[in-house]
Amino acid sequence: MRSIAKGVVFMSTQKSEYQTILYQVEAGVLTITLNRPEQLNAFNGPMLKDLLDALDRADADDGVRAIIVTGAGRGFCAGADLSAGGDTFKAVNKFTGEAQDKPGVDVHRDGGGLLTLRIFDLKKPIIAAINGPAVGVGITMTLAMDVRLAAEKARVGFVFARRGIAPEACSSWFLPRIVGIAKSLEWVYSGRVFPAAEALEEKLVSAVYPEDELLPAARALAREIADNTAPLSIALSRQMLWKMLGADHPMEAHKIDSRAVQALGRSADAREGVESFLEKRPARFSNSPSSDMPAFYPWWRERDFS
């Protein structure tokens, strides 16, 4: 299997074990753990490839109903791996292996952006459990996720201007839609690292927990989804809400809503949802995102990198 992120191709390993992450499915909930604890889970090329493969794998597995992303050890993700020193962002994109100055390449593909674009098209709900420091790509990678929860000790920073670079991972699109333009500019301009309490106040995260309560809270939310909802409904709803952020008129939503209600209203899941409610029993949904997406999906135009 190959993972294709908007024109960049990585061969997929499809292994149960990865070099830089842990992949564990339990009762329909996948936990992806960034697993470079000695480096505070700093983001590098192998981690990008592992994450893209894991997301492809999760999308193809109807047994995965929800995804949690967290970090091993005391950090979530310290940002880009800076072990190359001053040349970290020079000459070769270490996330894709592409030379930035090779003939015919005017602009290299940002590794964080490849990841968030893949998350943007994901069919499964995804929750960030930010267990410690999350700076640079460590926080921007979570902006395409559906819910962010944080430990009390977590600290967050959009530190790009302090490293002489620019915001990445499509964060100039995601961040203002989450916290508004004024707060986005303040955080990006200052590059300061701030506590979880401020992230909560500005609605960057949905809730803050003591460290030992963070993963249980994320799992409880994932279980609420996995145990009570139709996976096809979730897959379609996720894309409807995310993609409509860019619509210029509610009529665009009405067009998709109408098609979605018509298509899913005829499905076995819709019948089961109503009958289980009337019979006061748990629903047993049978439609799957891997094979039963409606004919009009995807309705958006794929974007090229040019």
Domain boundary among 227, 246, 280: 227
Residue 93, H or E segment:
strand 92-93
Among 5-9, 37-41, 152-156, 300-304, the minimum mean pLDDT is found in 5-9
Q: Domain total for the chain?
A: 2
* Domain extent for 256: 230-300+302-306
Per-residue b or e along 262-277, where b marks 16 or more CB atoms closer than 10 Å to that residue's CB: ebbeebebbebbeeee
Residue with tokens 């409509």: 244
Is it the case that residue 88 has pLDDT exceeding 90?
A: no
Query: Residue 232 — very low, low, confident or very high, per pLDDT cuts 50/70/90?
Result: very high
Query: Residue 134 — very low, low, confident or very high, per pLDDT cuts 50/70/90?
Result: very high
Q: In this structure, are 126 and 263 located in the same domain? A: no
**Which pLDDT tens digit goes with each residue over 237-266?**
999 999 999 999 999 999 999 999 999 999
Q: In this structure, are 75 and 220 located in the same domain? A: yes
Is it the case that residue 82 has pLDDT exceeding 80?
A: no
Query: Residue 306 — very low, low, confident or very high, per pLDDT cuts 50/70/90?
Result: confident
CATH of the domain at 75: 3.90.226.10
Q: In this structure, are 129 and 198 located in the same domain? A: yes
* Average pLDDT score over residue span 131-136: 97
Q: Which two tokens stand for residue 22?
A: 């842990």
- Whether the CB-CB separation of 288 and 235 falls below 8 Å is answered with no
Among 42-46, 86-90, 146-150, 242-246, the minimum mean pLDDT is found in 86-90
Domain boundary among 206, 227, 248: 227
Q: In this structure, are 265 and 182 located in the same domain? A: no
Query: Residue 109 — very low, low, confident or very high, per pLDDT cuts 50/70/90?
Result: confident
CATH of the domain at 292: 1.10.12.10
**Beta-sheet strands, E only, within the chain:** 2-5, 8-11, 21-26, 29-34, 66-71, 92-93, 98-99, 126-130, 134-135, 147-151, 155-157, 193-195, 207-209
pLDDT at 161 (0 to 100)? 96
